[in-house]
């Protein structure tokens, strides 16, 4: 169809859900990411996600009961938002006849690329992961989907530098979010958010920031929709870093670096990275999906912040895990990195930047089951017994823990415990 006059026109495709491209939450909007013909598209039904209010999370954040929306991207086939982008990158990989595709990953990118390769059967996959840095839920996916997994000594930033070299010399198709087609696919997350709000623009989009692909894609989505006359205003964007991986926060908020029409002060950012190297400063956070100190989409994210009158905040691992427990108790749950969005929204409300009456959308980027270790460590902790890994990341209390209760296998004792709730 030609580009619609109104975003509402896309809704008509809901009645064609037996057609794979109309069923996909990404390709339903294919006129807004027009680089492939219908026959070329590789889809596995990604983007069947939903936007949901949560009264308990709204209260935790401090906004009106109906003002907090959670966009559950964990409902994607591989359990994270990465599938929105990987369907597009896989499509492009097959368009150019790639035989092998590769990525470096903190886990979700590799899980996503691996599932597309195993379904499409058109190219093989090599994934690079850092040592001891990957949550088991994610590693298990790459292994199970048949991806060749190379574990190198180092962290994500090391793995990414290496995979870029390998792709260059071996002619392998690179699927990290430097791949622009991934960002095209990830624009659809914002289309679905608007759809979930009956095409009304919210006041805030709050998203965790790692490699900054999502935030960059969101900015591009809104810029284009505005230019096409399909929306009349652009929401504000809040990108939330973990304190232990806060490059964007440092450069944008502390050093005041701005997009400046594309002529941003590159000396300032390269000085920052030189110093980071000299001090051998490594990213460190329990939110492993955003444990990244050298975001590849850094400059694009400056543009997104410019387009969306954006702001950046950092939150501690304590705040992230507390917010995660609140999301779990108040909805479908998420992995640690995702909860940075809710922790960030709460901080911005405290600061008075977000108002109680604002409509705030937090992006829950990954599924709760991706990283069960973090969840169990938090909930099993008591004031006397804290998990060592949590403590090493500054998490020294667990106000919302809900640990298993150990009871003797004795009916009366079990009933007594239940009656005491
Ligand atoms: C990849 C990922 C992020 C970070 O997204 P970027 O686009 O790299 O900023 C956040 N949360 C989860 C669960 C992820 O998988």
d(CA 74, CA 66): 22
Question: What average pLDDT does this structure show over 214-231?
Answer: 98
- 133 pLDDT exceeds 80? no
341, 72 contact by CB (below 8 A): no
pLDDT band at 136 (very low <50, low <70, confident <90, very high): confident
Nearest CA to ligand 1 atom 2: 289
- Tell which atom from ligand 1 comes closest to the C-alpha of 214: 7
The percent of residues in the chain predicted with pLDDT above 90, rounded, is 90
- Closest Cα to residue 51, out of 76, 69, 65? 69
Instruction: Judge if the beta carbon of residue 289 lies within 6 A of ligand 1.
Output: yes
> Which of 86, 134, 216, 366 has the most ligand 1 atoms within 8 A of CB, as the residue to mutate?
366
347, 319 contact by CB (below 8 A): yes
Indicate the domain borders of the chain: 1-81+180-421
For residue 373, say whether it is annotated as part of any ligand binding site.
Answer: no
pLDDT band at 114 (very low <50, low <70, confident <90, very high): very high
- 202 pLDDT exceeds 90? yes
What phi and psi values does residue 336 have, to the nearest 5 degrees?
Answer: -55, -50
pLDDT digits (tens, 9 = 90+) for 317-354: 999 999 999 999 998 899 999 999 999 999 999 999 99
> Regarding predicted confidence, which is higher, 409 or 331?
409
- 108 pLDDT exceeds 80? yes
What's CA 32's distance to the chain center, in Å? 21
Instruction: Judge if the beta carbon of residue 107 lies within 6 A of ligand 1.
Output: no
What would the DSSP string read from start to end of 28-78? GGGGGS-SS-GGG---SS----EEEE-HHHHHHHTS-TTSEEEEEGGGSTT
Burial 109-131 (b: 16+ CB within 10 A, else e): bbbbbbbbbeebeebbbbbbbbe
pLDDT band at 384 (very low <50, low <70, confident <90, very high): confident
Burial 20-44 (b: 16+ CB within 10 A, else e): eebbbbbbbbbebbeebeeeebbbb
For residue 260, say whether it is annotated as part of any ligand binding site.
Answer: no
* Ligand 1 midpoint to CA 417 (Å): 41
**Which of 59-73, 133-147, 243-257 is predicted with the least confidence, judged by mean pLDDT?**
133-147
Which structure tokens are listed for 7?
């975003």
Q: What is the mean pLDDT of the chain?
A: 95
- 106 pLDDT exceeds 90? no
Residue length, the chain?
A: 421
Which structure tokens are listed for 341?
């969005």
The dihedral sign for the CA sequence 328, 370, 381, 341? negative
pLDDT for 318 equals: 98
Measured between alpha carbons, how far is residue 191 from residues 71, 92, 187 in Å? 11, 21, 7
pLDDT band at 19 (very low <50, low <70, confident <90, very high): very high
Instruction: Judge if the beta carbon of residue 365 lies within 6 A of ligand 1.
Output: yes
237, containing H or E segment: strand 236-242
- Closest Cα to residue 22, out of 48, 50, 55? 48
320, 346 contact by CB (below 8 A): no
> Which of 108, 182, 363 has the most ligand 1 atoms within 8 A of CB, as the residue to mutate?
108
181, 92 contact by CB (below 8 A): yes
For 1-81+180-421, the fitting CATH number among 3.50.30.30, 3.40.710.10, 3.40.50.360, 3.40.50.1100 is: 3.40.50.1100
> Regarding predicted confidence, which is higher, 384 or 64?
64
Nearest CA to ligand 1 atom 14: 289
* Ligand 1 midpoint to CA 392 (Å): 22
Angle of the 82-95 helix axis to the 108-120 helix axis, nearest 10: 50
For residue 196, say whether it is annotated as part of any ligand binding site.
Answer: no
* Ligand 1 midpoint to CA 6 (Å): 30
228, 195 contact by CB (below 8 A): no
> Which of 290, 292, 294 has the most ligand 1 atoms within 8 A of CB, as the residue to mutate?
290
d(CA 158, CA 155): 5
Neighbouring CB atoms inside 10 A of 293's CB total: 18
For residue 241, say whether it is annotated as part of any ligand binding site.
Answer: no
d(CA 324, CA 337): 9
Instruction: Judge if the beta carbon of residue 211 lies within 6 A of ligand 1.
Output: yes
- 383 pLDDT exceeds 80? no
Nearest CA to ligand 1 atom 5: 210
Instruction: Judge if the beta carbon of residue 130 lies within 6 A of ligand 1.
Output: no
- 48 pLDDT exceeds 90? yes
Question: What average pLDDT does this structure show over 158-185?
Answer: 94
**Which of 118-122, 227-231, 362-366 is predicted with the least confidence, judged by mean pLDDT?**
118-122
d(CA 231, CA 395): 42
For residue 212, say whether it is annotated as part of any ligand binding site.
Answer: yes
pLDDT for 265 equals: 96
Q: Which long-range contacts (CB under 8 A, 24 or more apart) does 145-153 make?
A: 145/111, 145/114, 145/115, 145/117, 145/118, 146/114, 146/117, 146/118, 147/110, 147/113, 147/114, 147/117, 148/124, 149/110, 150/126, 152/128
pLDDT band at 305 (very low <50, low <70, confident <90, very high): very high
Question: What average pLDDT does this structure show over 373-390?
Answer: 89
For residue 210, say whether it is annotated as part of any ligand binding site.
Answer: yes
- Closest Cα to residue 242, out of 402, 138, 129, 374? 374
Measured between alpha carbons, how far is residue 88 from residues 10, 78, 91, 284, 299 in Å? 19, 15, 5, 30, 22
* Ligand 1 midpoint to CA 45 (Å): 20
- Closest Cα to residue 75, out of 327, 367, 340? 367
Instruction: Judge if the beta carbon of residue 297 lies within 6 A of ligand 1.
Output: no
Which structure tokens are listed for 418?
């239940």
> Which of 184, 214, 342 has the most ligand 1 atoms within 8 A of CB, as the residue to mutate?
214
């Amino acid at each position: 169809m030609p580009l619609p006059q109104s975003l509402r026109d896309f809704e008509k495709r809901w009645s064609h859900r037996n057609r794979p491209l109309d069923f996909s939450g990404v390709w339903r909007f294919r006129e807004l990411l027009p680089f492939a013909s219908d026959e070329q598209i590789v889809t596995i039904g990604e983007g069947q996600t939903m936007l949901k209010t949560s009264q308990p999370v709204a209260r935790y954040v401090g906004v009106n009961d109906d003002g907090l929306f959670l966009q559950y991207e964990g409902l994607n086939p591989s359990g994270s938002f990465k599938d929105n982008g990987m369907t597009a990158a896989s499509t492009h990989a097959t368009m150019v006849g790639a035989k092998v595709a590769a990525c470096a990953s903190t886990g979700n990118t590799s899980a996503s690329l691996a599932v597309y390769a195993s379904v499409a059967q058109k190219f093989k996959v090599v994934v690079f992961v850092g040592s001891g840095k990957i949550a088991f839920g994610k590693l298990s996916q790459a292994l199970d989907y048949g991806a060749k997994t190379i574990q190198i000594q180092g962290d994500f930033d090391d793995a990414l530098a290496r995979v870029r070299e390998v792709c260059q010399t071996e002619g392998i198709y690179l699927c990290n979010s430097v791949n622009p087609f991934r960002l095209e696919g990830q624009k659809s997350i914002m289309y679905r958010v608007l759809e979930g709000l009956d095409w009304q623009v919210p006041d805030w989009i709050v998203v965790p920031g790692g490699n900054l692909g999502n935030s960059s894609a969101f900015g591009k989505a809104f810029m284009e929709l505005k230019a096409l006359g399909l929306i009349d205003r652009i929401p504000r964007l809040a990108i939330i870093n973990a304190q232990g991986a806060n490059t964007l926060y440092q450069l944008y908020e502390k050093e005041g670096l701005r997009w400046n029409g594309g002529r941003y002060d590159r000396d300032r950012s390269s000085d920052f990275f030189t110093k980071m190297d000299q001090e051998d400063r490594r990213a460190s956070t329990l939110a492993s999906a955003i444990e990244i100190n050298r975001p590849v989409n850094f400059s694009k994210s400056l543009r997104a912040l410019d387009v969306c009158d954006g702001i950046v905040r950092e939150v501690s691992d304590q705040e992230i895990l507390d917010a995660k427990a609140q999301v779990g108790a108040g909805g479908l749950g998420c992995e640690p990195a995702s909860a940075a969005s809710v922790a960030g929204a709460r901080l911005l409300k405290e600061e008075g930047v977000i108002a109680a009456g604002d409509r705030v959308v937090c992006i829950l980027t990954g599924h709760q089951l991706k990283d069960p270790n973090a969840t169990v460590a938090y909930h099993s902790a008591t004031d006397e017994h804290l998990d060592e890994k949590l403590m090493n990341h500054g998490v020294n209390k667990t106000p919302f823990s809900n640990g298993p209760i150990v009871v003797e296998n004795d009916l009366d004792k079990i009933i007594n415990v239940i009656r005491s709730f």
